[in-house]
């Protein structure tokens, strides 16, 4: 494919490109002041379009789901590159809008996480799978709140017992832990599902 080159500014062409790429009028004014239209607008691959109202609603729901109070946003980052993490956090805070392809990737990652969490909660409720599921949950980089759940659900003494078990000092876990851990995790799962039910 022949490499696209920038072209001298033309009013009619600029208007057509503004329509086809859903650009802001300010972008066209910049072209006019510079005297040319950038090469990137003449490639075969269309540029990312602005989000529709429905997509903006989805973006807001995802921002609620990936709140630092619930999950580890860094694990859900779908923006690559040197400044990807910074840009991702700015977009999570609503300072900038997600691109369509970023929104699609983020929604997919959140859906997979919800499916995974549902499976682990199911395993927690089986005595033979409880310890393995708890280790899996505790080690997941996206679920930083597992430690908070443990402290709140088990109390100081119970949390110390958990730490001993995690380090291999304690061999068994109390049976009462099962209900204490399942309930808050189920509440988290329900919240993520309710926030994302329309995404």
How many domains does the chain contain in total? 3
* Boundary (domain end) residue, out of 70, 90, 106: 106
Residue 1 forms part of a structural domain: no
Q: Map residue 198 onto helix, strand or coil.
A: coil
Same domain? For 120 and 177 the reply is: yes
**Residue 4 pLDDT grade (very low, low, confident, very high; cuts 50, 70, 90):** low
What mean pLDDT is predicted for residues 27-45?
A: 80
Q: Supply the pLDDT for residue 37.
A: 87
> Between β-strands 7-8 and 36-37, what pairing exists: parallel, antiparallel or unpaired?
antiparallel
Same domain for 29 and 79, yes or no, is: no
Please check whether residues 98 and 114 belong to one and the same domain: no
On the CB side of 68, how many CA atoms lie within 13 Å of its CA? Answer: 5
Cβ(123)–Cβ(133) below 8 Å = yes
pLDDT at 126 over 60: yes
Question: Is the confidence at residue 45, as pLDDT, over 70?
Answer: no
- Does residue 80 sit in the same domain as residue 117? no
Residue 118 lies in a domain: yes
98 and 140: one domain?
A: no
Considering the domain architecture, whether residues 113 and 100 belong to the same structural domain is answered as: no
- Rounded to an integer, what distance in angstroms lies between the CA atom of residue 80 and that of residue 89? 12
Whether residues 115 and 191 share a domain: the answer is yes
Residue 198: pLDDT above 70? Answer: no
Residues 75-101 have a mean pLDDT of 86
- Identify whether residues 119 and 152 lie together within a single domain: yes
Mean pLDDT calculated for residue range 101-123: 93
135 and 123 share one domain: yes
Express each pLDDT in 169-195 by its tens digit.
877 777 777 777 888 889 889 999 987
Domain boundary among 106, 121, 139: 106
The fraction of the chain above a pLDDT of 70, given in percent, is 88
Q: Are residues 115 and 178 in the same domain?
A: yes
Residue 127 lies in a domain: yes
pLDDT digit string (tens) for 128-140? Answer: 888 888 889 888 8
Q: pTM value?
A: 0.69
Same domain, 16 and 68: no
- Whether 137 and 185 map to the same domain: the answer is yes
Predicted confidence band of residue 121 (pLDDT cuts 50, 70, 90): very high
**Is the alpha carbon torsion for 82, 84, 90, 95 positive or negative?**
positive
Q: Residue 48 domain-assigned?
A: no
pLDDT one-digit tens code per residue, 128-174: 888 888 889 888 888 876 777 777 778 888 888 888 887 878 777 77
Q: What is the pLDDT of residues 11-35, one digit of tens each?
A: 888 888 776 666 667 788 889 998 9
Domain that holds residue 190: 109-196
Mean of the per-residue pLDDT values of the chain: 82
Q: Which of 106, 122, 142 is where one domain is finished? A: 106
- Helices marked H in 97-129 — which ranges? 100-124
* Sign of torsion over alpha carbons 30, 26, 93, 98: negative
């Amino acid at each position: 494919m022949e490499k696209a080159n920038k072209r001298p500014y033309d009013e009619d062409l600029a208007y057509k490109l503004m329509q086809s790429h859903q650009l802001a009028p300010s972008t066209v004014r910049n072209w006019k002041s510079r005297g040319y239209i950038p090469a990137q607008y003449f490639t075969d691959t269309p540029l990312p379009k602005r989000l529709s109202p429905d997509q903006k609603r989805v973006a807001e729901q995802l921002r609620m789901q990936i709140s630092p109070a619930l999950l580890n946003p860094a694990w859900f980052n779908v923006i690559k590159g040197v400044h990807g993490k910074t840009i991702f956090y700015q977009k999570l805070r609503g300072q900038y809008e997600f691109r369509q392809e970023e929104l699609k990737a983020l929604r997919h990652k959140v859906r997979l996480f919800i499916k995974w969490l549902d499976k682990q909660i199911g395993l927690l409720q089986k005595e033979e799978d409880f310890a393995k599921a708890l280790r899996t949950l505790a080690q997941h980089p996206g679920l930083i709140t597992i430690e908070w759940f443990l402290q709140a659900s088990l109390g100081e003494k119970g949390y110390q017992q958990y730490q001993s078990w995690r380090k291999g000092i304690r061999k068994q876990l109390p049976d009462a832990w099962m209900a204490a851990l399942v309930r808050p995790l189920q509440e988290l799962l329900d919240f993520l599902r309710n926030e994302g039910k329309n995404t």
